[in-house]
Chains A and B, each alone.
Chain A
Amino acid sequence: MAFLRRLGRLVLVVFVVTFFTFYILDRIPGDPAERLAGVSATPEGIEELREELGLSGSLPERYGSWVGDIVRGDLGDSLIYDGISAWDRIRGALPKTLETLVLAELMAFGLAVPLAIRSAQRPGGLVDRWSSATAFGLLALPSFVLGIYLMFLFAVILGWFPVLSKDLPGFTDDPVGNLKGYFLPSLTLALNLLAVYVRLLRTDLIETLQQDYVMLAQARGLSTRRVMWRHVLRPSSLNTVTAAGLNVGGLIGGAFIVEVLFAYQGMGRVFIESIIGKDYFVVASMVTIIAVGYVMINFLVDILYSVLDPRIRRLSA
């Protein structure tokens, strides 16, 4: 039941978003068929091409036929690059963006959890004050500003990483070179996330630490470490997990920006290029993928949430 409702929500989101995309694309000036056909094309020729590309008919008709194709597994062709399908465009870009995102989340959680724990153990202590202040500062840094700072510090001054992340080797070919290239873009995203996670987790840890059951666990002679990891961390993690879900949208936006900043061909750059070139099917397919991905991640977060908190399990069961 809950699953069906969620599925319904997924379909709804994808439908609204893709339809809106078609509508928007329609408004962008310029006609891809005209452009593809070239300057010497006859009006009939253009009309034919339009027919062939699936660009004729009213907006709902075009949308309908596109949905039909999608269901059959055909995302359509690129209208800018001849002989390249929308899927080809996406296939090149998606892994780069995904790698950036995954690395960013890993770094963010990897740093946030120990930092939050240290801070919560001694609120007002040195670690806490520094990490709180840093987190506050990071929250005020848009990714393109933070990216510039990091680029300047680590690439220009220190020279540890490449300035731009163009033409990176694949992970399997050259893991070090690959990771080095993605490090700065991922770190840019990670630091923004880190700030959110540390603040939330620290507050919740401190709150949990004041709970009766934690006091009782201490009074049972359990070590501080055990109390923290076994008793405190899990019940304190709910808000952070929620925030991770809520931040997916912002994270995707951030990824678009760091791709432009570090100049590599991820989803963001392809998306912008395609939308400006009115590359219908590439844009619509990308939007679909992003929408599905976003809903799936939130779905995962919900599952994780109920794993973490048995009280929720019963309600949604």
Chain B
Amino acid sequence: MRKRLGILFWIAVLWIVLVVFLAIFRDSLPIADPVARLARSGECERFERPSWSRWFGCDNAGRDIFARSVEGARPALVLGVVVTGIAGTIGTLVGVISGYIRGLFDTVMTTIVDISLAFPALVLLIAVSVAFEPSLRVFVIVFSILGIPGYARIVRGATFALAEREFVDASESMGATRARIVRRELLPNVALPVLSFAFIGFALVIIAEGGLAFLNLSLDGITWGKEISEGRHFIVDHPHVSLIPSTVMFLTILAFNLVGDGLRSLVAPREVATARRLHIEGTPEPRSEGDDAVLRIVDLSTKLHTPGGLVEPVDQVSLSLAPGEALGIVGESGSGKTMILRSIVGAFPLADVTRAGTVEVDGVDMLRSADTVSRRTLGTNIGMVSQNPLTALNPVRRVGDQVIEPMIVHGDLSRADARERALELLQQVGIPAAERCLREYPHQLSGGMRQRVTIAIALANEPKLLLADEPTSALDVTVQDQILRLLDGLRRERGMGMVLVTHDLAVVKGFTDNVAIVYAGQVVEYGPTAEIFANPQHRYTVALMNSMPDLNLPSHSELTTIEGAPPSLIDPPSGCRFAERCPAVQDKCRTDDPVRAGTDVHSYSCWFPMSEHPVEVS
């Protein structure tokens, strides 16, 4: 934890401690009298510049600025502590009740908070400080009232999100009372956000008081704001009189903000700052004579440089897809299926990415061609469908605009022609009211319809290759069947190559010609679908098949389990990556990387494949 807070955090803490220390022990430290006019006694000239003997110099009346800065910290700190305590406590309670119990209380609370948060607080403060004799008590009351909405809002938001989480339900079904749920499940989880906001709120109190003091409406005595306000008249000739208290104030506020921000990063880890850069390594593998594959992947490796370390989600993958062929890629989540597709199109999450090997689509080298060339191939020869139709369409653009866009950008069609064609496409993918659909926004469509729209977009420029990433996992069974049939029909009709990524073996069995089984970033078995289902070789393939509940087996059939979980891709084990979980593992598996075996058609990377060792070796 300490490491994550960073050096600035600790410097800020140090500064706050220093300011607090000076403010408390001012009297017992060798600090000049803040109100004494030292110019009279000749100790200090008016407007004396800062020097070693008088760190901050003197002001217009010849008073010691350092002493006044220390003195000015006192009202700021006292006010900050008291107000933060009061507003924080009340605000947290109000926020928790509002976010957990909800109902009328919440509605009323939210309205009040919304109105008061945006209202010009300073106007109110000015009025109050003129009307009431400015005293610490009045300020505490007013600042606390003004501070409560901020805390309430933060806590309500956090509570609201927590209360949606299932552990609150779980606790309720255990029989916990509401009070217990608030105490045990909610408060501990909002404590850190509140603490973090308290520091920022503290800074806000200092700023607000400073503003009033600047307008000469604040407490009697010395405050930072007043110093700045008085000093500004001499800014032209004696800038230090105002710049020094300004800077002291700035640094203090900054310190509080830094601490607050640091604490917040403990709750919601600061999103990692990594630039996205794409690197390409290695040399392309030349294509052999007469190879007409639409997609040719040779020894593709993709590495992501993440803060956790170097991840290699695609390791030495080779695949090839003939025109009109359907290739299935199967594996568990995190095995690198999606990353294979992303490596083809070159769209990655924010991270440094290095790709090596060859990726060719319709003869175009996707890794090394000029940007315009590969973009053109992407636009015209590749269509992509992703897993979640809810997130695959831009929520704020009309369906029509999204379908038309690739045709206008790459197909050089006019808007009207593109619209014509968009209508046609939507009808082809089975959208009944295509005309209306074009004018609608994605949220107005059902999941199945949205997926049809993304398919229509993918088909817009008649691609030769369709990449479908779990196109049906987020859909209902009956819709899933419709979409798979639609894709299958379109592929056959247009002679498109299709890559179908899925975790569902039944889908692969029904809809693909060839299949690649992926485990921990590697293709462990690759060949014709029928052949692999009839005659699986790699131990993982076998285990995967046996662990799937089968609709055709009687109920309560025992499932074969694969113990453990897949290895981390950050420092994968040497040897066979499945060794930890393999029922047939031998010493050799743990030390030597399996060599690709089998035929050109059906290959696998296992030292002890099923055909050679039908019974479990052990």
Contacts and interface: CB of A to CB of B under 8 A. Distances in A.
Interface of A: 9, 13, 17, 20-21, 24-25, 27-28, 122-125, 128-129, 136-137, 139-145, 148-149, 151-152, 156, 163, 203, 206, 209-213, 215-223, 226, 230-231, 234-235, 245-250, 252-254, 256-257, 260-261, 271-272, 275-276, 283, 287, 290, 294, 298, 308-311, 314
A125 B275 CA distance: 6
Given A24-B128, A28-B130, A213-B391, A149 B246 contact: yes
Given A206-B271, A215-B342, A309-B396, A249 B120 contact: yes
Given A156-B236, A253-B120, A123 B126 contact: no
B345 A213 contact: no
B378 A257 contact: no
A241 to B, nearest CB: 13
Contacts of B126: 256, 271-272, 275
B394 A156 contact: no
A213 to B, nearest CB: 5
Contacts of B236: 156, 163
Contact of A221 (B232, B257, B378, B457): B378
B386 A215 contact: yes
A215 B347 contact: yes
Contact of B121 (A24, A219, A230, A249): A249
Most buried by B among A21, A143, A221, A261: A221
Contact of A21 (B117, B127, B249, B376): B127
28 contacts: A28-B131, A124-B272, A124-B275, A144-B210, A144-B225, A144-B246, A145-B249, A148-B243, A156-B235, A156-B236, A163-B236, A212-B388, A216-B386, A216-B392, A218-B347, A221-B375, A221-B377, A221-B379, A221-B406, A222-B375, A222-B409, A226-B409, A252-B123, A256-B215, A257-B211, A275-B127, A309-B395, A310-B395
Minimum-distance CB pairs A-B, first 4:
A253-B122, A221-B379, A124-B273, A221-B378
B97 interface: no
B261 to A, nearest CB: 7
Contacts of B441: 310-311
Given A25-B131, A145-B250, A210-B349, A235 B396 contact: yes
B141 interface: no
Contacts of B581: none
Contacts of B232: 148, 151, 261
Contacts of A9: 111, 115
B443 interface: yes
B235 A163 contact: yes
Interface in B107-121: 111, 115, 117-121
Interface string B295-334: 0000000000000000000000000000000000000000
B392 A213 contact: yes
Contacts of B261: 136
A311 B397 CA distance: 10
Given A212-B392, A257-B122, A140 B131 contact: no
B410 A257 contact: no
Centre residue among B120, B225, B347, B349 by max chain A CB count within 10 A = B120
Given A137-B254, A249-B117, A216 B349 contact: no
Interface in B387-427: 387-388, 391-397, 405-406, 409-410
Nearest to A163: B236
A73 to B, nearest CB: 24
B131 A27 contact: yes
Interface string B233-276: 00110010011001101100110011001000000000111111
B207 interface: yes
Given A226-B409, A246-B118, A294-B118, A220 B210 contact: no
B615 to A, nearest CB: 45
B123 A256 contact: yes
Contact of A219 (B111, B378, B391): B378
A271 B236 CA distance: 28
Contacts of A222: 375, 379, 405-406, 409
Contacts of A210: 349-350
B134 to A, nearest CB: 13
B229 interface: yes
B522 interface: no
Secondary structure of the B side of the interface? helix
Nearest to A247: B118
Contact of A290 (B123, B257, B272, B394): B123
Interface in B422-466: 441, 443-444, 454, 457
Interface residues of B, number: 81
Given A25-B131, A152-B239, A221-B409, A144 B228 contact: yes
Contact of A141 (B250, B405, B410): B250
A213 B396 CA distance: 11
A122 B278 CA distance: 12
Interface of B: 111, 115, 117-123, 126-128, 130-132, 203, 207, 210-211, 214-215, 217, 225, 228-229, 232, 235-236, 239, 242-243, 246-247, 249-250, 253-254, 257-258, 261, 271-276, 342, 345-347, 349-350, 374-380, 382, 384, 386-388, 391-397, 405-406, 409-410, 441, 443-444, 454, 457, 467
B200 to A, nearest CB: 9
A250 B207 CA distance: 11
Contacts of B350: 123, 206, 209-210
A140 B271 CA distance: 22
Given A219-B382, A250-B121, A253-B120, A140 B246 contact: no
Contacts of B117: 246, 249
Given A156-B235, A221-B377, A148 B242 contact: yes
A231 B215 contact: no
Contacts of A139: 257
Contacts of A148: 228, 232, 235, 242-243, 246
A218 B405 CA distance: 12
Contact of A298 (B118, B210, B374, B376): B118
A294 B119 contact: yes
A242 B38 CA distance: 52
A175 B346 CA distance: 51
B235 A152 contact: yes
A158 B130 CA distance: 38
Q: Which of A142, A148, A213, A308 has the most chain B CB atoms closer than 10 A to its own CB?
A: A142
Contacts of A235: 394-396
Given A206-B271, A219-B378, A221-B409, A257 B396 contact: no
Contacts of A249: 117-121
A261 B454 CA distance: 57
Contacts of B274: 123-124
B257 A140 contact: yes
A250 B382 CA distance: 51
A142 B253 contact: yes
A212 B376 CA distance: 20
A213 B130 CA distance: 55
A141 B228 CA distance: 13
Contacts of A247: 118
Contacts of A298: 118
A310 B130 CA distance: 46
B120 A220 contact: no
Contacts of A156: 235-236, 239
A211 B390 CA distance: 11
A76 B239 CA distance: 43
A217 B458 CA distance: 10
B384 A220 contact: yes
A260 B250 contact: no
Given A140-B203, A140-B253, A210-B349, A220 B457 contact: yes
Contacts of B467: 219
Nearest to B342: A215
B589 to A, nearest CB: 37
Contacts of B394: 213, 217, 231, 235
